Amino acid sequence: MARGVSAEKQDVHAVVDHLDRGLFPGSFCKVTADVLGSSLDHCNVIHADGSGTKSILAYLHYKETGDPSVFYGTAQDSIVMNLDDLICVGATDNILISNTINRNARNCPGEVVKALIDGSEAFMQTMRDLGVNLIPGGGETADVGDLTGTLTVDSNAVVRMPRAAVVTNQITPGLSIIGLSAYGQCQYETTINSGIGSNGLTSARHDLLSSYYAQQYPETYDSNTPSELAYCGPYRLTDDLPGADAMTVGAALLSPTRSYAPVVKHLLRELGPNIKGLIHCSGGALTKCLKFGQKVHYIKDQLIAPPPVFEAIQTASQTSDEEMHQVFNMGQRMEVYVPHEHAKAVIDTANAFQIEAQLIGRTEGSDYNRLTLTTHAGQVLSYQLTS
């Protein structure tokens, strides 16, 4: 909170959790009646999210190198943060995307806007080539120098889909939990992905990067942040990331967020109603599951080994294991919940896309939603629903 961010967003949930939850109250995204087509057999889903403060990392890279192409990844980050929430309700096709760029035009000239637009189009075409039809729906670029010293990149996504196809996330005891890795180079990526995604980047940026960036680019952080928490890390963007082969700290932090949409589309086609739940481990990270299902004890005791970027963050910041797993995806950003007999099919499908996957745990019964998590180092952590 000292940096002006909250992993759990208690103040937001205190309000929105009491609002109408839509047609399927347990679903990952709010699902509403079909106001677009007035069909009782269909429903609508609208979603808004963005790249968050990860856009500032692209800005730093741009200022240091003059290369605007780094914003291709930022455009992907913004779209994926919407797309991979939508796939958790089963929406994997004919999704309309609109983008909003808020910029300080003095610091982010036209070539930055062009790179963001071109990057959006390139990513959407990649998804279309893989059978996930994303449709560009225009957007807005606003020059708001009084609001931001750099830029923000956000997206909206809208889809109309059959109600029968909705994954309602009615997670119950007796299921296997399959984790899909965010690390490595999958079939449709051109470089190795660090697994960082687009959550926790305020902490990651300040905990890894050195005071050089506070001095050179004061527009990239809130001046109200205590000086000991602003860019207090040991690294420059060009430094090698410890424990990683041929990956710099900058490349790790800027890795474009991987989308699991092609994998999930295949899984839904192959396993259909046997997919009992899909959880995008974004806000809340590996504790996100607590908001779904009722009277479920989530047991995650075989986690995928965290990739080097998270080890570097924890070493530099001395953040506790408990907080790390609540803020960062730790290298496994998507969870699939299926009956035990279908676990291998999920793993095999992910592997076919060159994405590592493994059985990371199971669900059991409980008097209330809780999570027991065993870190890769063997520490046992306990969490429960607090809002």
Tell me the pTM: 0.94
pLDDT at 10: 59
Distances, alpha carbon 356 to alpha carbons 147, 181, 300, 302, 303, in Å: 41, 5, 17, 14, 12
Tell me if 257 sits within 8 A of 82, measured CB to CB.
Answer: no
Closest CA to 115 of 172, 58, 173: 58
Give the span between the Cα atoms of 138 and 140, in whole angstroms.
7
pLDDT at 18: 66
Give the span between the Cα atoms of 339 and 337, in whole angstroms.
7
Question: To which residue do tokens 């300080």 refer?
Answer: 104
Closest CA to 123 of 43, 188, 48, 217: 188
**Chain centroid to CA 222:** 23
Report the 10 Å Cβ neighbour count for 253: 25
pLDDT at 132: 98
pLDDT at 9: 54
> Pairing relation of β-strands 380-384 and 370-374?
antiparallel
pLDDT at 2: 59
Give the span between the Cα atoms of 109 and 111, in whole angstroms.
6
Q: What is the mean pLDDT of each run of 10 residues along the chain (387 residues)?
A: 53 64 94 95 97 97 98 98 98 97 97 98 98 96 96 98 96 98 97 96 96 97 91 97 94 98 98 98 96 97 97 96 97 97 98 98 97 96 84
Domains of the chain in start order, with CATH, are 29-164 (3.30.1330.10)
Report the 10 Å Cβ neighbour count for 300: 23
pLDDT at 73: 98
N-to-C CA span, the chain:
17
Give the span between the Cα atoms of 270 and 142, in whole angstroms.
43
Give the span between the Cα atoms of 177 and 338, in whole angstroms.
7
Q: What angle do CA 66, 68, 74 make, to 5 degrees?
A: 135
pLDDT at 153: 98
Q: Is the torsion defined by CA of 121, 127, 131, 133 positive or negative?
A: negative
